Structure 1
Amino acid sequence: MAKLFYLHWREAELRERLAPLRKAGYDVAGHANIESLAQFGEALPDAVIISLDRLPSHGRTAAEWFWEAKKRQHVPIIFAGGEPDKIKTTKEKFPQAIFCATAELPERIARLVKEK
């Protein structure tokens, strides 16, 4: 079972977003603030999901922090949702990341798990 970390900036919406992933059998930890990132230690997730639907600049900051350490650079980051202009900006900064619509997450994660 893949271990996922989902970062979204509104707690009530986050719970709704976690439900389909948990239903698909993933072990998902969800957080609504950037301080949660510091808790990883050595127990890294298999993938990090960052919502671009709210505060996309915060999401980019979180991704930047996550990938700045070499020991975390192998963990894929999936950016979910977002307005087209925010997605474009984020793709320019993180071309190696994965991008998809929020509704496509379970399917996209399933493909990612198969690729590993």
Structure 2
Amino acid sequence: MARIFYVHWNESEALERIAPMTEAGHDVRTHWSTESSPSLKGELPDAVVISLDRLPSHGRAVAEWFQEAKSRRHIPIVFEGGKPDKLAVARAKFPDARFYEMGRVADMLERLLTAVQE
């Protein structure tokens, strides 16, 4: 299955939210610290999932970080959840990103990754 990098700014919520992805067989790494940069030990992920439910500006900063380097630009960025006004900002800044309601990402990942590979 896929390597997923999941970003949410609350550790216990992040671990709860990745459960459906890991149960589906994905290798999911999480990042929840506002005091450190994301760590990508080893291979790059196949997709990045960023929650907009907490600290959406921090999530957008992580998305920017992924798009800064040519080696990371090909990685699909998926935003999950968020209030309508925060979604509007993210949609304007990342028009190629995917946006899903909280809890729908696990179901959509396989379809998304298949589409990206084609």
Q: TM-score, normalised by structure 1?
A: 0.93
The equivalent residue for 1:110 is: 110
Q: Is the 8 A contact 1:3 1:47 kept in 2?
A: yes
The equivalent residue for 1:21 is: 21
Runs of 5+ consecutive residues of structure 2 not aligned to the other structure: none
The equivalent residue for 1:46 is: 46
Identical aligned residues as a percent: 50
**Structure 1 consecutive aligned stretches of length 4 or more whose deviation exceeds 3 Å:** none
| 1:7-59 C-alpha deviation (Å, 9 max, x unpaired) | 0000010111011111111110112025242x326610000111000000000
The alignment's C-alpha RMSD in Å is: 1.3
Q: Does 1:60 align with 2:55?
A: no
The equivalent residue for 1:12 is: 12
Q: Is the 8 A contact 1:7 1:33 kept in 2?
A: no
Q: TM-score, normalised by structure 2?
A: 0.91
Runs of 5+ consecutive residues of structure 1 not aligned to the other structure: none
Match of 2:54, SS state, is: coil
- For 2:62 and 2:71, the matched residues in 1 are separated by 16
Larger helix share, 1 or 2: 1
Match of 2:6, SS state, is: strand
- For 1:3 and 1:111, the matched residues in 2 are separated by 14
